[in-house]
Amino acid sequence: MPSNSASTASTASTASGLQGPVRRVVYVTLYELIAIAFATFGMMWATGQGAGHSGAVAAIASGIAIVWNVVFNWAFERWESRQAVRGRSTARRVAHAIGFEGGLALVLVPVLAWWFGIGLWEAFVMDMGLLLFFLGYTFVFNWVFDRVFGLPASAQG
């Protein structure tokens, strides 16, 4: 993880690590490629469907998640930049993961219901395994991503 002393030694407005639109593109690309692989195998295992059917659902979910990811992270970082306490505590990371996955579920459950021809409750129950996995995955991915690429400017002191 980049040292904050290097950024403090230069100008206070210069953030260390990967920043801006490049950070978001790298983040979304890595996150979704890993997510598609896990979701495809998970759906194959859970539903007994083949890789094509499961992969199609994973790709649809990924497309939705990419749009939501950009919107949610923009809003989260905007909120985060106005907070008095900087950095990303465990509580802030948990809030980020829950907010992201909760908002995504609001969109994906109806998609799953339509795709599989089932009711919303059944789709919600089906999505629970994915939600639980991705809740943990989002938390871990964000922690590792920040360790490798540094914190975004919104979280730096």
Which tops the pLDDT comparison, 9 or 19? 19
Within-domain flag for 114: yes
The pLDDT-based confidence of 14 (bands split at 50, 70, 90) is: low
Enter the pTM of the model.
0.64
Within-domain flag for 8: no
Within-domain flag for 112: yes
The confidence score (pLDDT) of residue 6 equals 40
Q: Which of 10-14, 22-26, 33-37, 91-95 has the lowest mean pLDDT?
A: 10-14
Which tops the pLDDT comparison, 73 or 13? 73
Domain that holds residue 125: 18-155
The pLDDT-based confidence of 110 (bands split at 50, 70, 90) is: very high
Q: What is the DSSP string of the chain?
A: ---HHHHHHS-TT---SS-HHHHHHHHHHHHHHHHHHHHHHHHHHHH---HHHHHHHHHHHHHHHHHHHHHHHHHHHHHHHT-SS-S--HHHHHHHHHHHHHHHHHHHHHHHHHHHT--HHHHHHHHHHHHHHHHHHHHHHHHHHHHHH---GGG--
Within-domain flag for 128: yes
Within-domain flag for 5: no
The pLDDT-based confidence of 5 (bands split at 50, 70, 90) is: very low
pLDDT of 8 strictly over 60: no
The confidence score (pLDDT) of residue 83 equals 86
Domain count, the chain: 1
Percentage of the chain lying above the pLDDT 70 cut: 90
